[in-house]
Structure 1
Amino acid sequence: MSEELRPQDPIHAPTGTRRSCKTWDAEAALRMLMNNLDDRVAVDWKNLIVYGGTGRAARNWKEYHRIVAALKSLAPDETLCIQSGKPVYIAKTDQEAPRVILANSNLVPAWATPEEFDRLDRMGLMMYGQMTAGSWIYIGTQGILQGTYETFAAIAKQAFKTESLCGKWILTAGMGGMSGAQPVAATMNEAVILDVEVRPERIERKVKEGYCDRMTDRLDEALEWIGTACRIGQPLSIGLVGNAGEVYPELVRRGRIPDIVTDQTPAHDLLSYVPIGDVAELDRLRERDPKAYRQKSLDTIARHAGAILAMQSAGAVAVDYGNNLRAQAADAGVPVQNPDGSFKYPGFVPAYIRPLFCEGKGPFRWAALSGDPKDIHRIDRALKGAFPKDRALKRWVDLAQRKIPFTGLPARICWLGYGDRAKFGLVINDLVRKGEVKGPIVIGRDHLDCGSVASPYRETEGMDDGSDAVGDWPLLNFALNAISGASWVSFHHGGGVGMGNSLHAGMVIVADGTKRRAQRLERVLTVDPGIGVARHVDAGYDLARQTAQKKKIKIPKK
């Protein structure tokens, strides 16, 4: 991976108002690329891996340096094209066109297999972009946090008829860049959570960052802590060093059934999932014999998923968090599917999040290019002022300020719906114009959104009209954001659930305080969730139809 070109010291994004690029759009892309690889943000910056096992920000260090040089020289009417982490073309376009267009991990469908992708990756022809790794809008563990928080809150309301999970305990696994959001998302809902992670350094990092309360390598000690915390109603997050393929079945054997069971290991990629065994030896096996490693992963996944089914049968609320564990388990021979092909325990989107998607709600995020946390705090105040009647939003902001640390460029996320995204984008732009924040603000989102993904094992699982695998919608989203004036756009394959299983689009726009940018912000932040509402209207959801009527979203008449 051109290791000789790897920087000696960790990468940190520049801050302040002095640019090294010719436009703020290019400067923002440069800083967010570097922020993705900040050692406080990325799980393995030395290998360009941001999160999700293999999700990279650039193909290799040579191409990283070429991207940086291209962004610094990019004219205000040029667009840089990135093909799987490699800069390949600079096009003469328009000042209101995106400054960067990225396409990552896309393969012709018949070739879209993990084996073919791995072959091309080894040849240096592709990279896995995940969702926000290869689109340069990852903001650390906070990025997935509210979605996890909202899911746990929805479980409390639907399964337990309560406003919190006080006195309940959650079992999960994985504590990487994305999965590391689970501990604090649980305690924000007043729950107790046991998070099983095979790599102790990852738990140590999350404890140090403030995302996890305690760490142990003893299951008995963890269970004592869980019992005490549940008894007194104390929120508590525990990181347990162990393998889910061993810990989950052991809990079943002991009859210690959680109230809720889920999982966020990187099961979408069998070479990133860690099977039972010595980790150092397994790392060597992965390099020496990938086929044997994959089989070990499937064997462990069979135990892991089998235990989840047993816990569900014993009364636990089981929910899949979209990492493709269920499909891998089915390949391993676990009876995880019903006769009609549906899964015995649901994905989190159809079970808890889809009503939000029908309202055009999704993960709206922003980062301060100044590097000053005070800019985020000022925007927090503006957010509460812009939506004074939204008590849930106020509670989220207050909790986030207390419990979520900034890593890399200071950033915030909240879920906003159709109309509210455009409204708040203009509020942010006005703060920049007035100098109430010290520099431009990058506005983006996860690819996991209401109209930007086709992913039958996650975002589009169980659509009412059977359109789970229709990939036209993310393409429409990508094109709409490009022609509406986003600062950069991206189109990826596989993120979150693995090769062959999803298509998804990303969008970023910079609020630079100008009047022309206000027009672009309003366009982009309207059409981006607008196509999401339209997607759900088309699938037959009454709530989406009501949203379209209420918000006067134009849907062609039938």
Structure 2
Amino acid sequence: METVTAAIPASSVTVEEFIQTYANHPVYLPPRGPQLHAKNWQSEAALRMFLNNLTAEVAENPEKLVVYGGIGQAARTPQDARKIVELLLTLEEDESLLVQSGKPVGKVRTHAEAPRVLIANSNLVPHWATWEHFNNLRERGLMMYGQMTAGSWIYIGTQGILQGTYETFAACGRIHFNGDLRHRLLVTGGLGGMGGAQPLAATMAGATFLGVDVDPERIKKRLETRYLDKMTYDYREAMRLVLAAKDKGEAISVGLVGDIGDVLEQMLQDGITPDILTDQTSAHDPINGYVPNGFSLEEARQLRESDPEQYRQKSLKSMARHVGFMLELQRRGSKTFDYGNNLREFAQQGGEPYAFQINGFVPEYMRPLFCEGKGPFRWAALSGDPEDIRVTDEALKELFPENTHMINWLEQAQEKVAFQGLPCRICWLGMGEREKAGLLFNRLVREGKVKAPLVIGRDHLDCGSVASPYRETEGMLDGSDAVSDWPLLNLMANTSGGATWVSFHHGGGVGIGYSQHAGMVVLADGTDRADRCLSRVLHNDPALGIYRHADAGYETAQQNAAKFGLQI
């Protein structure tokens, strides 16, 4: 018998009643508990995670359906969001919903182990893959920007990138500072969305942190969710706080309201050189994601609306100035790296010819993990009960007692991470580990140790799911940085393997024209069907990372291919 959770018939709540309760724009709320509203848990999982992306605890701007990353949306219009909800509530187990750049466009006949939702976002024929063409289509209501996990319904708030950021900072510490970031100052720009993970990741890694953002509301949100310790509008106060903490070896985080370029310029004038320097402003979108130097937020909004091309040019020049200061601090000794927002490319367009003398974070710190099939494994408790996440944390610690790095991470996360929306967790796991974890989670559901099914997904930033020459695939050993066959193969492998929903996007992380990437989510509902799908998908997904890097000539990946029987 595969029935594992109590469920009410879908007919007990009408579609209209459900929408009024959970999806009455702009107020979106994911249902919680074991009760079923859709016709099956596969559709219910997609429904809950779609609404979780848009709930005010998670989304940057529910009014505009923006989840994170400037204009990264979960649906194209409020009408499209409503229609997605209606269709998910009524979708059968032998149907799959098609979503084209945030708009539901049809259903196709499939089967019970096929994905319930097939999503494509922001994809353009290469010759037309520019921000200008995309923005023209967007203004006409023909497209939306899906970012990475915004349009694939598996964004889990700032925690979603937290461990990846922590792993990056920790790797920087291992390579440059003998594994000890105490008495080290880390400076960065951007505390919205993905950048908001930086302060907590830095302090968890042991560093003293200063983050700068022009928008005070973004900093306040990090305070409210306990990702940040202190906030100030005063540069001098910020410097006193972080320099005193650095001297004492205290891992505190300070958010400073200001322009990151101005702050770096002042640091140079004051002779203050951070130990580590990076940036996570939304520079991937020069019009909607970056505020030009010298503009208030309101002045920037007005210019963005009245003259977007002039705005873009001012952004590019500001990025060139910003990167120029980063380069000077690098020359003075800061360990400086690009954190994947395409800042270097736009700075070069704005007039900084040496922008790419700053290296990217993937070739510097993350590629060895990718060669092991490791990446950002994440899961959500559809019950809405934080206790279910505690149960999964403890179960993973028992499953992998030798993985002390993972156990340390989970214990810190239990203590320090505040949930946003449905309780979720992220934990970097590699080839072999992901499949074991997925089957374990399914058993927890089957045995009633958690109160409702769990969904397992990941960031698109993973070992084998992205082609992004200025980020995930920068500096590949064989020069295959721009080959995007790999994310397409990842998409097809996870679709045929039985993921619960899949997605293929263009432009996430670094902007239109610069990346293509695939996402997947798979359900653990305690059924035998889920066991089969979990086993296939959580094998295939990290295997693509090993295949991709082994093919590029990385010896570690080739060794892992042999270890896991992936050689052909």
Provide the TM-score with structure 1 as the length reference: 0.97
Which position in structure 2 is the counterpart of 1:299?
317
Q: Contact between 2:261 and 2:322, CA under 8 Å: does it hold in 1?
A: yes
Provide structure 2 residue ranges, at least 5 long, that are not aligned to the other structure.
1-22
Tell me which residue corresponds to 1:413. 426
Deviation sequence 1:245-285 (CA, Å, 0-9, x none): 21111211221110000000000000121112121011011
* Matching of residues 14-53 of structure 1 within 5 Å: 14-53=31-70
CA drift at 1:11? 1.3
Structural mapping, 1:194-343, within 5 Å: 194-271=210-287, 272-276=289-293, 277-337=295-355, 343=356
Cα distance in 1 between the residues matched to 2:338 and 2:59: 25
Q: Distance in 1 between matches of 2:49 and 2:297?
A: 32
Determine which of 158, 169, 181 is the counterpart of 1:141: 158
Do the aligned residues in 2 keep the contact of 1:329 with 1:336 (CA within 8 Å)? no
Counterpart in the other structure of 1:404: 417
Q: CA deviation at 1:299?
A: 1.7
- Which of the numbers 199, 203, 209 marks the counterpart of 1:183? 199
Q: 2:106 aligns to what SS in structure 1?
A: strand
Instruction: Give me the whole-angstrom Cα distance separating, in 1, the residues matched to 2:241 and 2:420.
Output: 29
Counterpart-to-counterpart distance in 2, 1:498 and 1:177:
15
In structure 1, what is the equivalent of residue 401 of structure 2? 388
| Matched-pair contact (CA < 8 Å) for 1:368–1:410 | yes
Is contact 1:246-1:303 (8 Å) kept?
A: no
Alpha-carbon deviations, 1:51-100, whole Å to 9, x = none? 00010000010100011101111111000000000000100111111000
Moved more, 321-330 or 544-553: 544-553
- Are residue 132 (structure 1) and residue 145 (structure 2) matched? no
Letter paired with 1:318: T
Match for 1:365: what amino acid?
Answer: R
Alpha-carbon contact 2:26-2:62 (below 8 Å) kept: no
Q: Deviations over 1:435-485 (max 9, x none)?
A: 000000010000000000000000000000000000000000000000010
Distance 1:388 1:332, change over 3 A: same
SS of the residue 2:28 aligns to: coil
Q: Distance in 1 between matches of 2:292 and 2:271?
A: 24
Give, in whole Å, the separation in 2 of the partners of 1:297 and 1:232.
38
- Who is 2:114 aligned against? 97
| Displacement of 1:527 | 0.5
| 10, 20, 27: which one aligns with 1:10 | 27
Identity of aligned residues (%): 56
Q: Deviations over 1:495-517 (max 9, x none)?
A: 00000000000000000001121
Q: Equivalents in 2 of 1:46, 1:65: separation in Å?
A: 13
Distance in 1, matches of 2:152 and 2:362, equals: 22
Q: Which residue of 2 aligns with 1:56?
A: 73
The 5-angstrom pairing of residues 113-124 of structure 1 reads 113-124=130-141
Q: Which amino acid aligns with 2:445?
A: V
Contact kept? 2:52, 2:422, Cα under 8 Å: yes
Which letter does structure 2 place at the counterpart of 1:72? Answer: L
Matched residues in 2 for 1:37 and 1:9: separation?
9
Q: SS at the partner of 1:489?
A: strand
**Which 5+ residue runs of structure 1 have no aligned equivalent?**
1-5, 338-342
Residues 347-389 of structure 1 deviation map (CA, whole Å, 9 limit, x = unaligned): 1111000000000000000000000000000000001011001
Match of 1:340 in 2: none
Contact 1:442 1:508 in 2 (8 A): yes
Q: 2:186 is matched with which residue?
A: 170
Q: Distance in 1 between matches of 2:135 and 2:25?
A: 28
Q: Distance in 1 between matches of 2:537 and 2:403?
A: 23
Name 1:484's counterpart in structure 2. Answer: 497
- Measured against aligned partners, the alpha-carbon deviations of 1:521-541 in whole angstroms (never above 9, x if no partner) come to 000000011111000000000
Out of 65, 68, 78, the residue aligned to residue 82 of structure 2 is 65
In the other structure, the counterpart of 1:458 is 471
Deviations along 1:4-43, one digit per CA (max 9) or x if unpaired, are: xx93662110001111111111101110000001101011
Aligned partners of 1:59 and 1:84 also within 8 Å: yes
Instruction: Please state whether the residue corresponding to 1:430 is helix, strand or coil.
Output: helix
State the partner residue of 2:538. Answer: 525
Q: What amino acid is aligned across from residue 428 of structure 1 in structure 2? A: F
- Pair 1:446-2:423 in alignment: no
Corresponding letter in the other structure for 1:180: G
Runs of 4+ aligned structure 1 residues displaced above 2 Å come to 6-10
Rounded to whole Å, the distance in 2 between the matches of 1:8 and 1:81 is 22
Amino acid at match of 2:46: A
Count matched residues. 545
User: What SS class does the counterpart of residue 124 from structure 1 fall into?
Assistant: coil
Distance 2:63 2:48 in 1: 17
Q: Secondary structure at the match of 2:526?
A: coil
The structure-2 alpha-carbon separation of the partners of 1:228 and 1:25, relative to structure 1 and needing over 3 Å to count, comes to: same
- Note the aligned Cα RMSD (angstroms): 1.1
- State the match for 2:18 in structure 1: none
Tell me how far 1:335 sits from its aligned partner: 2.2
CA contact (8 A) 1:473 1:535 kept: yes
**Other structure's SS at 1:193 match:** strand
- SS of alignment partner, residue 335 of structure 1: coil
Partner of 1:350: 363
SS at match of 1:178: helix
The code of the aligned residue for 2:311 comes to: Y
* Distance across 1 between alignment mates of 2:42 and 2:267: 51
* Cα offset, 1:552, TM superposition: 1.6
Work out the CA distance in 2 between the residues paired with 1:398 and 1:540.
36
Separation in 1 of the partners of 2:24 and 2:34? 24
Q: Structure 2 counterpart of 1:128, which letter? A: Y
- Partners in 2 of 1:43 and 1:517 — Cα distance? 33
Q: CA separation in 2, counterparts of 1:215 and 1:68?
A: 39
Supply the distance in 1 between the matched residues of 2:28 and 2:259 (Cα, whole angstroms): 32
Partner of 1:540: 553
- Contact 2:113/2:529 (CA < 8 Å) preserved in 1? no
List per-residue Cα deviations over 1:122-149 (Å, max 9, x = no partner). 0000000000000000000000000100
Distance 1:307 1:208 in 2: 31
The offset of 1:184, in angstroms, is 0.2
- Tell me, what secondary structure is at the counterpart of 1:319? strand
State whether residues 46 and 153 of structure 2, in contact with CA within 8 Å, keep that contact through their aligned partners in structure 1.
yes
2:545, 2:405 → 1: CA distance?
22
Equivalent residues of 2:25, 2:63 under 8 A apart: no
Paired with 2:153 and 2:98, the residues of 1 have a C-alpha distance of 14
The reply to whether residue 428 of structure 1 matches residue 441 of structure 2 is yes
Structure 1 residue identity aligned to 2:117: V
- CA-CA distance at 1:336 after TM superposition: 2.2
CA contact (8 A) 2:317 2:351 kept: no
Question: 2-side partners of 1:550 and 1:45: how far apart?
Answer: 46
Corresponding residue of 1:193: 209
